[in-house]
Chains A and B, each alone.
Chain A
Amino acid sequence: MNYERIKEKLNILADAAKYDVSCASSGSKRTNKNKGLGNSSGMGICHSYTEDGRCVSLLKILLTNYCIFDCAYCVTRKSNDIPRAAFKVQEVVDLTIAFYRRNYIEGLFLSSGIFKNADYTMERLIAVAKKLRKEENFNGYIHLKSIPGASDALMREAGLYADRLSVNIEIPSVEGLKLLAPDKKRNDFLRPMEKVKNEIIQYRSERKIIKNTPVYAPAGQSTQMIIGAAGETDAEIMYNSAYLYKKYNLKRVYYSGYIPISYDARLPSIGTNVPLLRENRLYQTDWLLRFYGFDIRELLSKEHPNLDSDIDPKLSWALRNLALFPVDINKADRGMIARVPGIGLKSVHKILQARRFRRLHWDHLKALGIAANRAKYFIVCDAPSFETKDRTAAQIKGLILQESKHKFRGMLNGQLNLFDPVTPMVG
């Protein structure tokens, strides 16, 4: 192995891959076979965290950053003057195995610029995964990119070796896509997604009948949207997500605040802040959809197209629906308790367990970890004292903000303008 050359390539191709925020290594069902290497049947593990606080779980690299496309938001776009490199299939295999054996990583995340054409690129990605599985008996986690426009036959093969497949929507709206990535069509993203979804369903049903049917993309599919590059509202982004979750059974949608990498006039200029707070609010909304039983229409609408920046989306929903509160902690069902601001799913579980033994009062609730400063306006429990005053939503919001320390407080004022309607785009 020529370590110097590998090092150069790794620098270029890891640097180019880092804007893809997906890092999950959980949710697969691949167990160690025949005393081979690796196991990805348990929960995901973050082996390290970069200085930006993001998890390092997989060796995340591009096979190459040569690309025939010229998408404005992408650092590897054809017109960008940057050093280019390409890994050989065997090099990626060796690097993955060496890192995995030392417990640096959970597996491989392999993406690629598109060279020659979609199928040719997809074939190379599959070759890496196939080699890892067949020759190295590697049972770690493999996340492959579905290359937009790749053929159905290749997508079918990819799922046999990969745990997760993903294709990035990147730009949520059709108009935005036309403007920033004129070479790509929305349908190119959706077609491989559709194919993989159908294969997953088919393999699952076959597995019920024939036990040794191979697993097919056991960790499902994910996608990513760039936030703040093309001027979409939060509603546009999240309705897109809700649709993708439902239509394609996606496991995850990632939101990546746009990091300015270009002087292109169509995009926020270099030096613009990354919209971290907005990203955070979108993830909160995403969690409400997936785990807290919310419907997107409850959280965002035509009248309410953007999320509040100063309070979280659950609190914001509760303030719009004060008629549903207060909730009796000792009687309400799981779903309703989960809708109380300041009570997360872990607390919901503890409350349900604890109340089998006795009626709960404030001390219990505080001890088991609810955020009482928010929750107290929305619940009653086994206690004589309550927040009984009839307060308006604005009053409650004011009181909560007064009492709470905001993680993004420093950023809040500076970023508020990002939530205002964005000026119409050029063109």
Chain B
Amino acid sequence: MIKFLIYDGSFDGFLSVVFKVYDERLSKIRILREAQYDHAHTLFDEKEVVQTNVTHAKRVWKTLKQKCSHHGLRLIYKAYLSEIAGSEESMLIFIQKQLKASSPISQNYSDPDILRLSKVVKMVDREKHRLDAFVRFRQTKEGVYFAVISPDFNVLPLNISHFKHRYADQKWIIYDLKRKYGIYYDLVRVEIITFKFDPGALSPNVGYAEEEMQFEALWKNYFKSTNITSRKNTRLHHQHVPKRYWKYLIEKRP
């Protein structure tokens, strides 16, 4: 019978599951986040909630650091951020194979499990890069540059360094509406923040600096003038800027 291991959705939580799998020599398992369990599975399977244990997590990570290349560690972490159902099992298979192997295997693209994992990671990387591109800040009356997004994957932690190095002299917030948390840079460091209200519901005209609307209008205008109509290529346009991002892109909003 398959046993379901349920964890709280944190990275340490996942590593605690890995610890348990090794500690109790478990096989035939499936790993799910709390949020995923309810609607997905029958009453008859065996299930166990794994408590997150930071000490266990640290031990697993330390072992992985000794066996994996940097590339391999990033593979695990980014696959975790994908939040794709079933990726935990791929990660576990990778970890098990890696711990048996004598050298790093994260680039063994002939192994279907590793290839699958690296395809997930590629999707995460692409989403991270899209966020670097598609975030649109609006200046609030308080002078903070504020942006909301809802990325397909939980990529915000990967974007911190990029935005911190780029906008070192302005306060900014990027808020993930889907996961209900944001990152806030206060001119010194970046912190994780949450709001009690729904920042997506903010009307564009309230709370923003006066010149904000002017600059947005200028940007929209620029976007239109820089287009060459005789080269129109709608398919390519949609491929590069998928429609689901349009609601956050000033130039694509009506």
Contacts and interface: CB of A to CB of B under 8 A. Distances in A.
Interface of A: 1, 3, 6-7, 10-11, 14-15, 17-19, 31-32, 35-39, 41-42, 45-56, 59-60, 95, 98-99, 101-104, 137, 257, 259-260, 274, 276, 350-351, 353-358, 360, 364, 367-368
Contacts of A38: 166-167
A10 B225 CA distance: 8
Contact of B226 (A46, A60, A351, A353): A60
Contacts of A60: 226
A3 B217 contact: yes
A32 B231 CA distance: 37
Given A38-B166, A47-B134, A11 B225 contact: yes
B217 A36 contact: no
A92 B166 CA distance: 20
Given A51-B234, A274-B230, A274-B231, A37 B215 contact: no
B46 interface: no
B145 interface: yes
Q: Name A's interface SS.
A: loop
Contacts of A95: 218
B229 interface: yes
Interface stretch (B2-10, B72-80, B106-114, B196-204): B106-114
B57 to A, nearest CB: 29
Contacts of B96: none
Given A102-B138, A353-B107, A50 B223 contact: yes
B214 interface: yes
B239 to A, nearest CB: 8
A60 B139 CA distance: 23
Contacts of A353: 107-109
B137 interface: yes
A104 B221 CA distance: 13
B222 to A, nearest CB: 5
Nearest to B101: A357
Contacts of B136: 102-104
A329 B181 CA distance: 48
A1 B217 CA distance: 14
A350 B226 CA distance: 38
Interface string B93-136: 00000000000010111111001000000000000010011111
B228 interface: yes
Nearest to A36: B169
A358 B168 CA distance: 47
B241 interface: yes
Given A59-B222, A102-B137, A48 B241 contact: yes
**B107, B214, B228, B232 pick with most chain A CB within 10 angstroms:** B228
B205 interface: no
A140 B83 CA distance: 33
A259 B221 contact: no
Nearest to B163: A103
Given A35-B169, A52-B227, 8 more contacts: A3-B218, A53-B231, A53-B237, A60-B226, A98-B211, A98-B215, A350-B109, A367-B112
A408 B135 CA distance: 33
B137 A360 contact: no
Interface of B: 105, 107-112, 115, 129, 132-139, 145, 147, 162, 165-170, 187, 211, 214-215, 217-219, 221-223, 225-237, 239-241, 249-252
Contact of B133 (A17, A47, A53, A368): A47
Given A37-B169, A54-B228, A367-B115, A102 B221 contact: no
A45 B240 CA distance: 12
Nearest to A45: B133
B228 A357 contact: no
Given A31-B165, A52-B237, A18 B225 contact: yes
**A42, A54, A55 pick with most chain B CB within 10 angstroms:** A54
B229 to A, nearest CB: 7
**B107, B162, B215, B239 pick with most chain A CB within 10 angstroms:** B215
A104 B226 contact: no
A207 to B, nearest CB: 22
Contact of B240 (A3, A41, A49, A355): A49
**A51, A95, A350, A358 pick with most chain B CB within 10 angstroms:** A51
Nearest to B108: A357
B105 to A, nearest CB: 7
Nearest to A31: B165
A50 B235 CA distance: 11
Given A3-B214, A99-B215, A50 B110 contact: no
A53 B240 contact: yes
Contact of A10 (B134, B135, B221): B221
A50 B220 CA distance: 11
Nearest to A17: B226
A6 B214 CA distance: 10
A56 B226 contact: yes
Given A48-B251, A102-B215, A357 B111 contact: yes
A154 B45 CA distance: 76
A354 B110 contact: yes
A53 B139 contact: no
A51 B115 contact: no
A45 B132 contact: yes
15 contacts: A1-B214, A3-B214, A3-B217, A10-B225, A18-B226, A45-B132, A49-B237, A50-B226, A52-B231, A53-B237, A54-B228, A55-B240, A99-B215, A259-B230, A367-B115
A10 B231 contact: no
A60 B168 CA distance: 24
Contacts of B129: 45
Nearest to B147: A103
Contacts of A274: 230-231
